[in-house]
């Protein structure tokens, strides 16, 4: 008798069955991504406020920062910035020390999911290195803002871990964790707006 393989798929609210080990673009829906990310807490939930600071909210901020730091970037790369943490809608958000402890398996899973997500929305499975680097820069600025405004870091700690961003770039940005329903709506709306420009 053949050994039964363990189930590797998750049923999404859209009704799709997403195979986590072999994801396909046809099983990716933006509503599932937005819903999942709106309920995944950044910083392991260790943030101030009445609501967790979600990965969806973080993704909106990173896309805004990417737009500010890379003026004139085409909408497809802004969309890539918005979706930079999209796999976390099914694999969750792990802080960097935990990712390092888990090892390369987490990164491989993330890469497969990201490729399927990108293809689903008309992006190349891998973004160019220069674009990835620019998105990472926006991600680090976002981390600095989150660390200092809602995660309890001192300025010196945040500067050491993330680098101090240009004050002119961030002076008007205030983080206020919001209800998941609001963040989910805004994430979908921003996705649709960028997709319409492709």
Give residue 54's Cα distance to chain centre.
Answer: 9
Between these two residues, 107 and 28, which has the higher pLDDT value?
28
Q: Is residue 5 assigned to a domain? A: no
Q: Is residue 18 assigned to a domain? A: no
Cβ–Cβ < 8 Å for 85, 188:
no
Q: For residue range 121-145, list pLDDT tens digits in order.
A: 999 999 999 999 999 999 999 999 9
Enter the tokens of residue 145. 């803002």
DSSP per residue, 99-165: HHHH-HHHHHHHHHHHHHHHHHTT--SS--HHHHHHHHHHHHHHHHHHHHHTS---HHHHHHHH-PP
Q: Is residue 159 assigned to a domain? A: yes
Q: Is residue 7 assigned to a domain? A: no
Of 78, 114, 85, 115, the closest CA to residue 197 belongs to 78
Q: For residue range 159-174, list pLDDT tens digits in order.
A: 999 999 999 999 999 9
Q: Is residue 8 assigned to a domain? A: no
Cβ–Cβ < 8 Å for 22, 111:
no
pLDDT-derived band at 37 (thresholds 50, 70, 90) equals very high
The number of domains in the chain is 1
**CB neighbours of residue 11 within 10 Å:** 9
Q: Is residue 17 assigned to a domain? A: no
Taking the alpha carbons of 153, 96, 38, 141 in that order, is the dihedral positive or negative? positive
- Residue span of the structural domain in which 143 resides: 27-196
Q: Is residue 1 assigned to a domain? A: no
Calculate the average pLDDT of the chain: 95
What is the value of pTM for the model shown?
Answer: 0.94
Q: Is residue 20 assigned to a domain? A: no
Q: For residue range 80-96, list pLDDT tens digits in order.
A: 999 999 999 999 988 77
The CATH number covering residue 176 comes to 1.10.3210.10
């Amino acid at each position: 008798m053949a050994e039964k393989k363990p189930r590797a798929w998750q049923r999404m609210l859209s009704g799709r069955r997403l195979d986590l080990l072999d994801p396909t673009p046809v099983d990716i829906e933006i509503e599932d991504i937005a819903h999942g990310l709106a309920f995944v807490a950044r910083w392991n939930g260790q943030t101030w406020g009445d609501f967790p600071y979600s990965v969806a909210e973080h993704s909106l901020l990173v896309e805004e920062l990417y737009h500010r730091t890379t003026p004139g970037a085409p909408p497809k790369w802004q969309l890539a910035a918005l979706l930079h943490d999209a796999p976390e809608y099914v694999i969750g958000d792990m802080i960097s020390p935990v990712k390092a402890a888990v090892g390369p398996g987490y990164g491989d899973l993330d890469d497969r999911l990201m490729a399927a997500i990108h293809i689903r929305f008309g992006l190349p499975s891998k973004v160019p290195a220069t674009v990835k680097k620019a998105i990472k820069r926006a991600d680090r600025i976002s981390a600095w803002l989150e660390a200092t405004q809602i995660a309890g870091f001192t300025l010196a700690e945040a500067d050491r871990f993330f680098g101090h961003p240009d004050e002119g770039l961030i002076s008007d940005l205030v983080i206020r964790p919001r209800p998941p329903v609001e963040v989910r709506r805004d994430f979908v709306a921003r996705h649709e707006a960028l997709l319409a420009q492709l």
